[in-house]
Amino acid sequence: MTIPSSNPLTPAPPLPSHQLSVLIGEEELKRRIEELAQEISADLREKDPVIVCVLKGAFVFVADLIRKLDLPVTTEFIRVSSYGNNVVTSGEVKLELDLANSVAGRHLVLVEDIVDTGLTLQYLRANLQARGPASIRVCALLHKPDNNVKLSTIDYVGFNIPSKFVVGYGLDYQGYYRNLPYIAQIQDLQ
């Protein structure tokens, strides 16, 4: 049987080829993540915490962060969407994939890739709070303080960055660039 490689009527979109400029390099990320891991380990010792990874953007950060934690942890995954394929938030947060296990009575560390307006974080915090955890701490690799209209409390912030659209290290533009080992700005989008 021959499997057609693509539908000839819908040509594949061109692969992205933007001009990128590095905002936070690999070494800087590594150093800061070690510091965050030390703080989290000190705060949650003996608490048997659950690391809640917010997909998709935080998966690279969480993978590196948990390997630097000096305490036993379990991990859960939750997926929400607010941006679709756009560079500005749609203003509406949707739960797309739920946690696999109950977190009632547990100490949670909610790990986000980036807090921009704070809308997603506000939604996630309320959603998790309703499940009766013992505590919720928030860790965000990146924070855009200028846009944070929801004034969310973030317990652990990796880097405060300017209000520009960034990609890499888990963050995407239209699904691409998550595999970059650094955080970059897309020149032609700013």
111 binds ligand 5GP per the rule CB under 6 A? no
Backbone angles phi, psi at 41, to 5 degrees: -60, -40
Q: How far is the CB of 31 from ligand 5GP (least distance, A)?
A: 21
CB of 147 closer than 8 Å to CB of 117? yes
Query: Which range, of 29-37, 61-69, 94-102, 114-122, touches ligand 5GP by CB under 6 A?
Result: 114-122
Task: Fill in the per-residue mask, 142 to 171: x = in contact with ligand 5GP (CB under 6 A), - = not in contact.
Answer: -----------------------xxx---x
Q: Which of 36, 51, 120, 125 binds ligand 5GP (CB under 6 A)?
A: 120
Give the containing element (helix H, strand E) for 123: helix 119-129
97 Cβ contact list (under 8 Å, min separation 6): 55, 77, 78, 79
127 binds ligand 5GP per the rule CB under 6 A? no
What is the biggest distance separating any 2 CA atoms in the chain, rounded to whole angstroms?
59
70 is catalytic: no
115 binds ligand 5GP per the rule CB under 6 A? yes
34: its two tokens: 């070690």
